Amino acid sequence: MSQLEIKDLHISIGDKPIVRGLNLTIQQGKVHAIMGPNGTGKSTLAKAIAGHPDYTITEGDVRLDGKSVLAMQPDERARSGLFLAFQYPSEIPGVSIANSLRAAVQARLAEGEELDATAYYKKLYAKMDLLKIDRKFTSRAVNDGFSGGEKKRCEILQMAMLEPKIALMDETDSGLDIDALRIVADGVNAQRSGPSAPGIMLITHYQRLLDYIVPDYVHVLWDGRIVKSGDKSLALELEAKGYDWLKQELAPATA
């Protein structure tokens, strides 16, 4: 069983510290929701773990199955089992989804090993059917001119094809209407069972997503740290009382 251990993690953008001593362990097959108001470091956490060059990890460690990923390039991190589902996926004109996904699958094969194209397309079409994605979709350029819902489905499709050990899902619900949200959530839930189910860090601002992707754990990120953890009822409590409630509750502790 794979696991991601985040230990005393400090992340800066330039000189500005954003995440300040974060600890979290994610087991394969479990969904950890990370909630918190804007600007508390949720997206920073996901992108830094994936290796985005704009973020500097100043202290702490991130280990996948006991092995630190911090010295790895983003592509190595991905091949070792991490996946980032972007909040705002890049549009890449001229590069088709089929070609980029193929390159990603090919990159995971041993040198000299050729991709089994028949098996690849069979799997791709099965995953697309599951996500209610039209077959024509794969010849389109990655995210180019996609609606919000299409972009997020495209992210989930890639996740389904690449079968990561740990998926970092950054605000997967943003920009989705309720129908699109359902489809995306179904796509994620379909990957939650079975021996290769990834561990998921599900970053969200709203409780709404958690009605559809029910988390095993909920953590509240505040000012660069996890200040409260619980089960799904914590999300409901936050939804009912708002982040201000938490602010007041935390006030004596942080004063």
Partner 1 sequence: MSVASSTYLVGSFTPEAFEQSLARCAHLPAWWLDRKRAAYARFAAAPMPQRTNEGWRFSNLSTLTLDGFNLPAPVRFDQLAHRELGVTGAGHLVFANNRLVAAQPLDASTAGAGIIFDTLQNALLQHGDLVKSHLLAQPSKLGSDKFAALHEAFLEDGAFIYVPKGVTATLPVGVFHYASGAGAAVFPHTLVIAGENAKITVADFFRSEKPAEAHFACGGNDLYAGHGASVTYLAMQDWSRATLSFQFNATVARRDARVLSLNLHAGARQARHESFSQLQAPGAHSEMLALTVAHGTQEFDQRTLQIHQAPNTSSNLLYKNALLDQAKTIFSGLIVVDADAQKTDAYQSNRNLMLSDEAEANSLPGLEIQANDVRCTHGATSSRIDREQEFYLESRGIRAAQAQELLVFGFFEEVLGKLEHQELHDRLTEIIREKFRNQ
| Residues of this chain that bind partner 1 (CB under 8 A) | 50-53, 73-75, 77-79, 83-84, 86, 89-95, 99-101, 103-104, 107-108, 141-142, 158, 162
Q: How far is the CB of 253 from partner 1 (least distance, A)?
A: 36
> Which CB sits closer to partner 1, 199 or 215?
199
Distances (CA, A) of 40 to 16, 44, 86, 186, 212: 13, 9, 17, 28, 24
Q: How far is the CB of 91 from partner 1 (least distance, A)?
A: 8
> Which CB sits closer to partner 1, 138 or 207?
138
The DSSP code for 90 is P
Q: How far is the CB of 40 from partner 1 (least distance, A)?
A: 22
> Which CB sits closer to partner 1, 83 or 217?
83
d(CA 10, CA 113): 39
d(CA 220, CA 34): 6
Q: How far is the CB of 25 from partner 1 (least distance, A)?
A: 22
> Which CB sits closer to partner 1, 156 or 246?
156
> Which CB sits closer to partner 1, 108 or 247?
108
Joined together, the tokens standing for residue 12 give: 């800066």
CB distance 156 to 103 below 8 Å? no
Q: How far is the CB of 63 from partner 1 (least distance, A)?
A: 19
User: Where are the extended beta strands (E) located within the chain?
Assistant: 3-13, 16-27, 31-35, 56-64, 67-68, 82-85, 92-96, 141-142, 166-170, 199-204, 217-222, 225-230
